[in-house]
Amino acid sequence: MAYEISNKEIDHIYIDEIESKDKIEKYFDFRPLLEIMNDEDFAKIKEVNKYIDEDVKDIESINELVSKFSSNYESNLELILKFLAKESFAIRGYILAYDEESQKYLPTISLDGNNHWLPNENLLALANKYENGILINDNSQEGTIEFHKEFLSKGTRALMCIPIRAKLENINYKGEDRRKSHYTNEINEGYIYLETERVFNRFDECRHRLANSLVPIIFINLENYKLKTLSSMDKLTGVSTRKFF
């Protein structure tokens, strides 16, 4: 059937060919099937995907995305996250920002509205070691170092975690602040985190580059959002003023 549709041979294995020493996952290896799917095939899947948010359904490029921005920085960040989720087929997604009080990276924006979710600290530390963060996909060897797959929790097929870094031009940054980047003269203000349980997903190098290209835009909106929040907060009580709402 697959050959009749794609005119391509697909590597396969019969269940009686699996030896006792093999992992059962070998029988459920979808990589040959995913390799024959092109952008047009995935576009058809997106068209019928009920999880795609209406706000980004027709956005196909970064230029179109930016044209939808407003002076509401929180809304801009939500739009960016929804766009990345649409392009990658992510089920869960967060934009994490550094919280001075707890000295942790906490969700500022999330796909499901759950800002109480806590990220894996070891995963963030791993992402911080790589210039473009990490991409881990159980369906592909692309961009994945085999032993990093231990970070895929049960049921999770792929994830990407990308630092939101800012350059510290001509600044001598000192101290033990955990935001300090693995790279010289940079500081981590947050992370983009996406994951999916879908076998058919687009957690690949192309989507990884797309997310990285949006880091400067996310950084600007994140900083402006934090400044607006602080300026709308009562300095004595720490409560948001009526103007903020």
- Could you tell me the residue ranges of all domains in the chain? 55-231
Q: The tokens 């087929």 sit on which residue?
A: 89
Separation in Å, CA 98 to CA 59, 82, 85, 114, 115: 29, 21, 22, 17, 13
Angle CA(80)–CA(83)–CA(87) in degrees, nearest 5?
140
Name the DSSP class of 205: H
Q: Could you report the average pLDDT of every consecutive run of 10 residues in the chain (245 residues)?
A: 46 57 49 54 53 84 96 96 94 94 94 91 92 85 59 86 79 52 74 91 92 96 90 59 48
Interatomic CA distance for residues 137 and 77, integer angstroms: 25
Residue 179: per-residue pLDDT: 63
Cα-flanking dihedrals φ and ψ of residue 215, to 5°? -55, -50
Cα(162)–Cα(174) distance, rounded to whole angstroms?
23
As given in the structure block, the two tokens for residue 110 are: 């999330």
* Amino acid at site 138: D
CATH code for the structural domain at 55-231: 3.30.450.40
**Residue 245, pLDDT score:** 45
Q: Output the 3-class SS for 114-180.
A: CCCCCCCHHHHHHHHCCCCCEEEECCCCCCCCHHHHHHCCCCCCEEEEEEEEEECCCCCCCCCCCCE
pLDDT in the model for residue 142: 52
151-178: buried (b, 16+ CB within 10 Å) or exposed (e) per residue?
Answer: bbeeebbbbbbbbbbbeeeeeeeeeeee
What does the pLDDT read at residue 134?
93
> What was the pLDDT predicted at 70?
96
Determine the pLDDT at residue 24.
45
